[in-house]
Amino acid sequence: MIEIFNLKNIMILLGAFICSALVGRLVLPQLKRLNAGQSIRDDGPSSHLVKEGTPTMGGIIFLLTLCLGIPVFGLLNIEGLLLIFSTLAFGLVGFFDDYIKVVKKRNLGFTALQKLLCQIIIAFVLVFVQSKSKELSTEIIVPFIQSRWDLGAFYIPFIIFVVVGTVNSVNLTDGLDGLSSSITITVAIFFALAAHALNHPTIGSFALLLVGSLAGFLVYNKYPAKVFMGDTGSLALGGAVAAMAVLLQLPLLLPLAGGIYFMETLSVILQVLSFKLTGKRIFLMSPLHHHYEQKGWHEKKVVKAFVLTSILLCVLAYLFLIYGVVR
């Protein structure tokens, strides 16, 4: 594990952090000038009303850093290109949605169906290119039984489901200052360690580039946030996380390492089903982070608890990987 912290990777972490923090100083005034302020939902927590007008679309900050870092650190092989494609393509969907709603001041951006179709197309391109590349495998690792499965004809639809589900799960997690960015830092560290263990240096370097970029973004996104990442950032992060899991053949470990994302999604699904079937709600509010806010937790406490949980889940996922696959 110590070998991952070599000079190159330390430079990636520090360089991405400094670059992201500097880019933030340049981008934030531009977002304010565009009047790209966040609208707060009427049915959300009342404590969030003070955030009305906070600049959004801040995901541009770490996306610009990633775009600079990919060529600078020599990550332009097939893995690096697919990683940045997935990140930027999903981020672009989020950007157009944010731009329509926030800058053009239209209440609705993309419809849910339009957004879903865009996500499916991007996921298909990702998995199609991967499946046709001689350098990349389409098997998936089953760490619990120390095996690898070739899903054959089911591989493409399965991976599309994983990618689209992950992207939307990360999107749902972006509801508190610093929550999605902090959770994704812990998940990206897991993927950096997993990539090192599985001998995928490009993916490991990309994961560390993402960690540094998000750490720099947190300078502005931590409580009280000066900027929100918006769909521009949250969909991009979902694309990055999903692509790392797919290229490392670890989609079956993703629900564990990214457990917070999936608990947030499950809380929304259960809430909707319960209300439609019984007329009663399971949670005080969904996604899950709002439930704890309604119970009286300060959002800083919610973020700390969720990040700690994410760290524990990532440690558990790494142990499954090391003792179930590598050995």
Residue 9 assigned as binding residue = no
Q: Residue 9: in which H helix or E strand, if any?
A: helix 7-33
- CB distance 284 to 294 below 8 Å: yes
- CB distance 16 to 72 below 8 Å: no
Alpha-carbon span 283 to 291, nearest angstrom? 6
Alpha-carbon span 232 to 98, nearest angstrom? 7
Phi first, then psi: give them for residue 141, nearest 5 degrees.
Answer: -85, 135
Q: Residue 321: in which H helix or E strand, if any?
A: helix 299-321
Using the CB atoms, write b or e for 82-105: b if 16+ within 10 Å: bbbbbbbbbbbbbbbbbbebbeee
Residue 177 assigned as binding residue = no
200 - beta bridge partners? Answer: none
CB atoms within 10 A of CB 44: 14
Biggest alpha carbon–alpha carbon distance for the chain: 58
Binding residues for Mg(2+): 171, 231
Binding residues: 171, 231
